Amino acid sequence: MTVAAYGAWICLLSPLAAAGLITLAGGRLSRRGSGYLASLACFVAFGGALTTFISLLGRSGSQRTAVSTAWTWISGGSYRSGFEVMIDPLSVFMMLVVAGVGALIVAYSIGYMDGDDEERRYFAYMSLFVFSMLLLVQGGNLLLLLAGWGMVGLSSYLLIGFWHDRPSAIAAAKKAFVMNAIGDATMALAFFLLIKKAGSLDFGILGGEYSSTVANLVALGLLGGAVAKSAQLPLQTWLPDAMEGPTPVSALIHAATMVTAGVYLIVRTHAIFEQAPKVADLAAGLGAGTLLLAGLIALVQVDIKRVIAYSTMSQIGYMFLGVGLGAYANGMFHLMTHAFFKALLFMAAGIVIHALAAEQDIRKMGGLRRLMPRTYLAFLIGSLALVGIFPFAGFFSKDSILAAAMDHGAYGYILWVAGLAGTFLTGLYTFRLLFLVFWGEPSPFVREHFHALKPDVPGVSLAAPVAVLAVLSVIGGWIQWAPLWHPVETWLQTVAEPTVSPTSWQEAVSSILALLLGLGGISLAFLYYGARRLAVPRFAFPQRVLEHKFYFDELYDALFYRPAVWSAKTLHRWIEGPLISDSARELGDDARDLGGLVSHLQTGLLRTYALAIASSVAVLAIVFVAVK
């Protein structure tokens, strides 16, 4: 094996080893020890990813793709799938993001979960989650990708429902699992079709020639999976409810793992989307729709984590917009910067929640700027990066997605306008949150409950990852500034060649407009919530619609849940009850009656039995002789 392959396998297996060790060690490992072990494993994974990255850097562009097979996993007929990892620029890029940001979040958890009753279980799940995501991005064929895909769904279910004594957490976990299962199913169907047509699930077959029907169906199936995992329209409803999990879990789901999987999937299988341009356009359209919808809903949310959750949906919408249009490198670049600043925002929000005795309602907050100035600074950096203000990370990544939209004809311009409107909304809802939480006078609730971080182990473990991510959110975007320099695009070129190439003036126009609109959103938020010069306008009807999240939950309730319950009840009343239950009971009764009749043959007298045997033998003997 090459050095790159060693790095990749270490990266993949060390979180799994940590999960196994924590599970097996049980009480022999101290609670904090399990946290240290999980963090160590994730940092080792990051080291492995870094090794692979450096050894790939030393190779020329065409030499950077390799598959390392451990053993043949499944073989049946002519079909064969190995247990193998893919080592190419795209998987290494994702490995770095997942393991790097994941490690910081797990380290942060040591402080956040300190004193929880079930810390060991938590860290075992977290390690499993990181492993699942690494399997997803490293899997060397579509089947392993699907395995990782399913395991990410499982570990998110376990973590969202981590506080299993809260009914709302259990409901949220189930909702996330079911929504994701829909996507898993459509993906599996697409894979069946691929096996039928190409006889294999290697990534290489995606570039083959397919009829447009097949390409469209496969792309649709993959898009279904991507949409479910990345919480895009129409399967987005699970994401805000997933906030029931502990805050680091939200950060992990939103920043490093899970929701970015859909974007990765589209880039990984871009060859099939390029053969099905209608479906790719649909992906971009869904992204644009989601980014507007989520931005609008975020305006009225009052839970600090839910506002950030909706902003994630909105930002993933941008990534879908980018990769749907064929701007793969831009989408992946935004994925990376988003991982930095979204993890930062969640973890800063986690510190706020921690300092306020687990309160998440922003109406009770206020004036935290003076009480926790460093957290305020981190949150401010994260917010500026999210809105895309120069020179923070989001500026470089988001604007090039918008520029790519301009290069896609009339449809592209519609998406471009949606994206720009989204920038304005982003500025508005992000700074509404910031001003409400940190500005103004401390509310009575804050004065009563506030307690600052102490410089002990939990405090440091909370503060240090936030500091690292704050730095990354500032400088993380500088590695690519289209069109001046674009190392990310060059790095990913061998895997996914972009199909759009915006000109410099398109880049400039998009950047300037997005920056201005973002600033406009911030100013409006300042007038309403910061300086409070203007009264916040009240519109009863739109507000009610937004507070009900455009009635998606109610719609799905009416469309799927209630008909299912109704039909189950009806079938139980008219079919199962009279036909199945009763007939089973009748059968049982009849069998017992028959047994009662037969039991009279048992006299208990030895000689009766002996006579029965003897006469039977005599009859048999006569029959035997007669037949002979």
Partner 1 sequence: MMGPGTAWYLSVAGFLFAVGSLGVLLRRNPLIVLLSLEIMLNGANLALITFARHLDNGDGQIFALAVMAVAASEVVVGLGLIVALNRKRVPLDVDRLSSLRG
Q: Which is nearer to partner 1, 568 or 617 (CB)?
A: 617
In the complex, the smallest distance separating the C-beta of residue 600 from partner 1, rounded to whole angstroms, is 6
Stretch that binds partner 1, among 152-160, 263-271, 491-499, 606-614 (CB under 8 A): 606-614
Stretch that binds partner 1, among 97-105, 122-130, 468-476, 604-612 (CB under 8 A): 604-612
- Hey, what are 436's tokens? 């409400």
Is 600 one of the binding residues for partner 1 (CB under 8 A)? Answer: yes
- Contacts from 370-375 at CB under 8 Å and sequence distance 24+? 370/442, 371/442, 371/446, 371/450, 371/452, 372/452, 372/453, 374/463, 375/348, 375/351, 375/466
**Side-chain half-sphere exposure of 308, counting CA atoms within 13 A:** 32
Collapsed DSSP state (helix, strand, coil) of residue 87: strand
Q: Which is nearer to partner 1, 575 or 612 (CB)?
A: 612
Is 601 one of the binding residues for partner 1 (CB under 8 A)? Answer: yes
Q: Which is nearer to partner 1, 536 or 597 (CB)?
A: 597
How far is Cα 164 from Cα 166, in angstroms, rounded to an integer? Answer: 5
In the complex, the smallest distance separating the C-beta of residue 80 from partner 1, rounded to whole angstroms, is 57
Is 540 one of the binding residues for partner 1 (CB under 8 A)? Answer: no
Stretch that binds partner 1, among 159-167, 208-216, 573-581, 601-609 (CB under 8 A): 601-609
Stretch that binds partner 1, among 206-214, 375-383, 452-460, 607-615 (CB under 8 A): 607-615
CB atoms within 10 A of CB 417: 13
Stretch that binds partner 1, among 420-428, 506-514, 542-550, 595-603 (CB under 8 A): 595-603
Stretch that binds partner 1, among 127-135, 474-482, 530-538, 598-606 (CB under 8 A): 598-606
In the complex, the smallest distance separating the C-beta of residue 597 from partner 1, rounded to whole angstroms, is 10
Comparing CA positions, the residue from 262, 252, 261, 303 lying closest to residue 284 is 262
In the complex, the smallest distance separating the C-beta of residue 601 from partner 1, rounded to whole angstroms, is 7
Q: Which is nearer to partner 1, 452 or 611 (CB)?
A: 611
Out of 358, 535, 605, 627, the only residue in the binding site for partner 1 (CB under 8 A) is 605
Is 604 one of the binding residues for partner 1 (CB under 8 A)? Answer: yes
* End-to-end CA gap in the chain: 76
Out of 607, 625, 626, 627, the only residue in the binding site for partner 1 (CB under 8 A) is 607
Classify each residue of 26-59 as buried b or exposed e, where b means 16 or more C-beta atoms within 10 Å of its C-beta.
Answer: eeebebbebbbbbbebbbbbbbbbbbbbebbeee
Q: Which is nearer to partner 1, 60 or 599 (CB)?
A: 599
Q: Which is nearer to partner 1, 115 or 595 (CB)?
A: 595
Out of 1, 74, 610, 623, the only residue in the binding site for partner 1 (CB under 8 A) is 610
Site of tokens 């880039």: 267
Comparing CA positions, the residue from 348, 382, 378 lying closest to residue 365 is 348
Four-CA torsion 74, 80, 84, 86, nearest 10 degrees: -140
Is 606 one of the binding residues for partner 1 (CB under 8 A)? Answer: yes
SS3 for 154-218 is HHHHHHHCCCCCCHHHHHHHHHHHHHHHHHHHHHHHHHHHHHHHHCCCEHHHHHCCCCHHHHHHH
Collapsed DSSP state (helix, strand, coil) of residue 560: helix
Q: Which is nearer to partner 1, 535 or 597 (CB)?
A: 597
Site of tokens 């009850």: 577
Q: Rounded to whole angstroms, what are the CA distances from 322 to 74, 117, 402?
A: 35, 43, 8
Q: Which is nearer to partner 1, 74 or 617 (CB)?
A: 617
In the complex, the smallest distance separating the C-beta of residue 598 from partner 1, rounded to whole angstroms, is 8
In the complex, the smallest distance separating the C-beta of residue 590 from partner 1, rounded to whole angstroms, is 18
Stretch that binds partner 1, among 57-65, 78-86, 236-244, 608-616 (CB under 8 A): 608-616
How far is Cα 78 from Cα 144, in angstroms, rounded to an integer? Answer: 18
Q: Which is nearer to partner 1, 536 or 605 (CB)?
A: 605
Q: Which is nearer to partner 1, 475 or 613 (CB)?
A: 613
Q: Which is nearer to partner 1, 1 or 611 (CB)?
A: 611
Stretch that binds partner 1, among 82-90, 161-169, 429-437, 596-604 (CB under 8 A): 596-604
Is 598 one of the binding residues for partner 1 (CB under 8 A)? Answer: yes
Is 616 one of the binding residues for partner 1 (CB under 8 A)? Answer: no
Q: Which is nearer to partner 1, 579 or 610 (CB)?
A: 610
Out of 475, 534, 611, 620, the only residue in the binding site for partner 1 (CB under 8 A) is 611
Comparing CA positions, the residue from 230, 205, 200 lying closest to residue 215 is 205
Phi, psi of 75 (to 5 degrees): -140, 135
Phi, psi of 224 (to 5 degrees): -60, -45
CB 563 within 8 A of CB 247: no
Is 602 one of the binding residues for partner 1 (CB under 8 A)? Answer: yes
Out of 603, 620, 621, 623, the only residue in the binding site for partner 1 (CB under 8 A) is 603
Site of tokens 């490992």: 29
Four-CA torsion 352, 354, 360, 362, nearest 10 degrees: -30
How far is Cα 232 from Cα 287, in angstroms, rounded to an integer? Answer: 7
Stretch that binds partner 1, among 69-77, 232-240, 522-530, 597-605 (CB under 8 A): 597-605
Chain contacts with partner 1 (rule: CB under 8 A): 598-607, 610-611, 614
